[in-house]
Chain A
Amino acid sequence: MNAYLRTLGAVVWKDLAAEWRSRELISSMGVFALLVIFIFNFALDLDPKTRSSVMSGVLWATFIFSGTLGLNRSMAIEKDRGCLDGLLLAPVDRTAIYFGKALANMIFILAIAAIVLPVCFILYGVNLFNPGLLLVILLGVEGYVAVGTLLAAMAVQTRTRDILLPILLFPVAIPVLVAAVKASSGFLAAIPMEEITPWLNLLLVFDVVFTAAAFMVFDYIVEE
């Protein structure tokens, strides 16, 4: 277990250290996320009541689109200089590499969420600092990253990786997105918890299913 966690930690440390130097992922994801929010803000031009009801859709569209950029780039960095081979040559459990990459990707998307939420609060005037909503963001991002990291590892082996990832990922991630949007809307509209719980449960189930599936197949996906 110690060796497993050490490998996982090494991969996370490597991704964060490289990103700290280049700021390649965070800057491109951040700029894209802010653009999406501004575009929605100006395009929809909503009254305060309607703003609240569309807020969860705007939030998740922002996370998903900017997250896809990050997932693609995160794996492309491994592939371009042959580093993926370097990782696979190490005598470690390859699922630890997967979880390391997934955890780093999750940190990047959550960092974007930390930028997006205050900006949304200012532009849309909707209070997003709700513990329930933050929990939904955590669960939703986990499910999205679990399947996204796996599919990015698959897409990066192809010549059309940039367009292939969203084509593969969006249909598969729909259950997570629907559950996340519904649960977020529920918390923002302050509807009774009993009505939100089924969506939270669904989110949790898909998180477990996607993470377990990725755990089982990652080794086969990266194998030539």
Chain B
Amino acid sequence: MTKKANTLLATNEDTVGPYYPIYFADEMYEDISRIHHGVSVKPEGQAIELTGRLIDHDGNLANGVVMEFWQANAKGVYRTPATVDDPHLDPWFDGFGRVRTADGHYRFRTIMPGAAPGRAPNITITLFSDGISRIVTQVFFEGEAGHQSDPLLVSLPAPERDKLIARKTTTTTGARGSRVYQFDIVMAGKNETPFFDDFES
């Protein structure tokens, strides 16, 4: 890869290893469907739970993975420096979440993202784990509109697209009646989840 003049060479990414401190975990990032149990205000939108398994090359659960999530609010707006004046920002929603899975099962609580312009509703998932630096993908939701025309989904070979669709279950949980979506991530090998090149693309 050619480097532009005046570009500093980046510090190498390295594996997070097996011992990312659970001590740093923050409940506010694990359930972004609400602010706090003691607070009456909350984000707009349908509360959902995204749940599933992280699976390795041999079909075993992958423990100790740090997962980060990034999504638009219910109106399809991401909170970034580019949207500070957007009237559709949700004051109670940043769109960033993080969970660490102890045993390979994960559960992330959020709201159903709205469709950003030209896109189907989705959540970006970044994985940090022992043995790898990081890998990224996006998850879409069964039953939501726009999958046929989403530029990311249509860029993939047809058999790969289904691997990025979380399945809607009939389960609801919690006081807010969260809808539960099931999404397994296969990190390597047979039925491997499609991952994307965030650095080089």
A and B form one complex: no
